[in-house]
Amino acid sequence: MESTTATTADADLVLRLYDLRRESEMRKARSWFIEQFWPTSFAEIEGLWAQFGSPTNRWFRQIVSYWEMAASLVVRGTLNPSLFYDTCGEAWFVYAKLKPFVAENRAKYFPDFITNLEKVVEGSDEGRQRLAHIEGMIGNLRDLLLAGTTK
């Protein structure tokens, strides 16, 4: 990650991003995305979009737009990349879940779909290593979480 020293303004921004993640609807969205959203095909994401106005549609859009917005702060130089790496690990998990569907999404619908998030997650050796680790464990985590919901 970038070696520049984080500033007090960077710290304030990270704390604000944290506060936004604690908002009640965002907590619901994060819980759903982490625990229940396990797409196996792009068709499942398209189906989710077709349910416009449903809680899961809103939560998907909220998660994607939140992390894309937060990553854009890093890409545009507003937020220190190292501080983002240290405090926003969930962004890598979100990207890992969406990565298999990014190319098709961009080809069919949104050419810029999560481009800032991709730049941040895959833009450094450290970020790519974290992504590889998460991708390696994501199947086990899915199985563990889904097993817990069937009991």
Encode pLDDT of 121-143 as tens digits: 999 999 999 999 999 999 888 77
Q: How far is CA 22 from the centre of its chain?
A: 15
Residue at 137 is within a domain:
yes
Residue at 67 is within a domain:
yes
Residue at 83 is within a domain:
yes
Residue at 8 is within a domain:
no
Q: Per-residue pLDDT tens for 20-58?
A: 999 999 999 999 999 999 999 999 999 999 999 999 999
Q: Where are the beta strands (DSSP E) in the chain?
A: none
- Return the pLDDT at 142: 79
Q: Is the Cβ–Cβ distance between 45 and 105 less than 8 Å?
A: yes
Residue at 41 is within a domain:
yes
Tally the domains of the chain. 1
Q: pTM for this structure?
A: 0.91
Tokens 């009640």: give the residue: 24
Structure tokens at 11: 């710290």
Q: Strand, coil or helix: what is 70?
A: helix
Domain extent for 58 = 24-149
Q: State how far the alpha carbon of 4 is from the alpha carbons of 55, 76, 83, 114, in Å.
A: 40, 15, 10, 25
Residue at 6 is within a domain:
no
% of the chain beyond a pLDDT of 70: 96
